[in-house]
Structure 1
Amino acid sequence: MSRQPLPSPSAEHRMRGFEPAFGLMKDAVRVAGESRGFAAARLLTHWAEVAGEDMARRTRPVKIGYGKGGLGATLTLLVKASEAPLVQMALPQLKERVNAVYGYAAIQHIHLTQTAATGFAEGQAEFTPAPKAAKPADPAVAAKAATVAEGVSDPGLRSALEQLAQNILTRPRSRTSG
Structure 2
Amino acid sequence: MAPKKPPQISETPERRLRGFEPAGRLLRERIRVAGESRGFAVSRLLTHWAEIVGEDVAAQTRPVKIGYARDGFGATLTLLTLGASAPMLQMQLPQIRDKVNACYGYNAISRIVLTQTAPIGFAEGQAQFTPAPKAEKPPPSPELRARAHDTAEGFGDPTLRAALEQLAQNVLSRSESRAKLKKG
Give the TM-score normalised by structure 2: 0.65
Q: Is the deviation greater in 78-87 or in 121-130?
A: 121-130
User: Are residues 1:57 and 2:59 paired?
Assistant: yes
Q: What SS does the aligned partner of 1:13 have?
A: coil
1:81 positional shift: 0.6
Runs of 4+ in 1 over 4 A off after TM superposition: 133-136
Which amino acid in structure 2 is aligned with residue 65 of structure 1? Answer: G
Q: Which residue of 2 aligns with 1:103?
A: 105
1:12 positional shift: 3.5
Alpha-carbon distance in structure 2 between the residues aligned to 1:64 and 1:111: 10
Q: Which residue of 1 aligns with 2:16?
A: 13
Any unmatched runs of 5+ in structure 1? 1-9, 145-178
Q: Which residue of 2 aligns with 1:23?
A: 25
**1:119 and 1:131, CA in 2 relative to 1: closer, same or farther beyond 3 A?**
same
Q: Which residue of 1 aligns with 2:114?
A: 112
1:34 positional shift: 0.6
- Number of matched residues? 131
1:122 positional shift: 1.7
Alpha-carbon displacement from aligned partner over 1:8-51 (angstroms, at most 9, x marks no partner):
xx93423x212321111111111110110001101111110011
Match of 2:134 among 125, 132, 139: 132
Residue identity over aligned pairs, in percent, reads 64
Alpha-carbon distance in structure 2 between the residues aligned to 1:133 and 1:13: 49
Alpha-carbon distance in structure 1 between the residues aligned to 2:26 and 2:14: 14
1:100 positional shift: 0.6
**1:134 and 1:25, CA in 2 relative to 1: closer, same or farther beyond 3 A?**
farther
Q: Which residue of 2 aligns with 1:151?
A: none
Alpha-carbon distance in structure 2 between the residues aligned to 1:124 and 1:25: 20
Alpha-carbon distance in structure 1 between the residues aligned to 2:42 and 2:34: 11
Alpha-carbon distance in structure 2 between the residues aligned to 1:87 and 1:121: 23
Is the radius of gyration larger for structure 1 or structure 2?
A: 2
Which amino acid in structure 2 is aligned with residue 41 of structure 1? Answer: S
Alpha-carbon distance in structure 1 between the residues aligned to 2:46 and 2:105: 16
Which amino acid in structure 2 is aligned with residue 67 of structure 1? Answer: A
Match of 1:37 among 33, 36, 39: 39
Aligned-pair RMSD on alpha carbons? 2.3
Which amino acid in structure 1 is aligned with residue 52 of structure 2? Answer: V
